Amino acid sequence: MTTARATIAATRRHTVIDSPYGLLTLVATDGVLAGLYMTAQRHRPPEETFGTPDPGPFAETIRQLDAYFAGERREFDLPLNLYGTPFQRSVWAELQRIPYGETRSYGELAENLGKPGASRAVGLANGKNPVGIIVPCHRVIGASGSLTGYGGGLDRKQRLLAFENGTQDAAPSLF
């Protein structure tokens, strides 16, 4: 492990929880949620960067996720410690403005950010979102309304959208 990775991992804690969408690895840096990773997720960091196993920092995150999966919560109210470029962080902030059960296209997000020609860049930043579900990147679709890429897989994206639209329960995990 490189020195930078060792330093980051030393301040990190993680835990793994079950969900209707498969196992979720929660990662905290300095006690604040910095990652929520699904199994087989694209752009999932190496396991050795997740830090020491410790469920301590995650009680509120788990409580809010449980309420979301039970259909009792539509928004998350958690402090986040997100690492990314200024553009990525602006995209992730815009994702949090998409209401529960609604979708936006990559182009709409780019326009909202004042960068109408940046839909591809928005897509790349969306794909690097380190806290899927909580920062709802699953709510972004193609301009035609099609379900385009999702780091957690298109099956999960489809199920999350159906769950939020009330057309499917958050049934036990198939992953």
Task: Note down the domain range covering 128.
Answer: 86-164
The domain total for the chain is: 2
Catalytic residue among 33, 34, 137, 140: 137
Does one domain contain both 61 and 105?
no
Q: Please indicate, yes or no, if residue 74 is contained in any of the structural domains.
A: no
One digit per residue, the tens of pLDDT, for the chain of length 175 reads 455 555 555 689 999 999 999 999 999 999 999 999 998 888 899 999 999 999 999 999 999 999 999 999 999 999 999 999 999 999 999 999 999 999 999 999 999 999 999 999 999 999 999 999 999 999 999 888 878 877 777 889 999 999 999 887 665 555 5
Residues in Cβ contact with 12 at an 8 Å cutoff, skipping those fewer than 6 apart: 27, 28, 29, 34, 49, 50, 51, 52
- Does the annotation mark 26 as catalytic? no
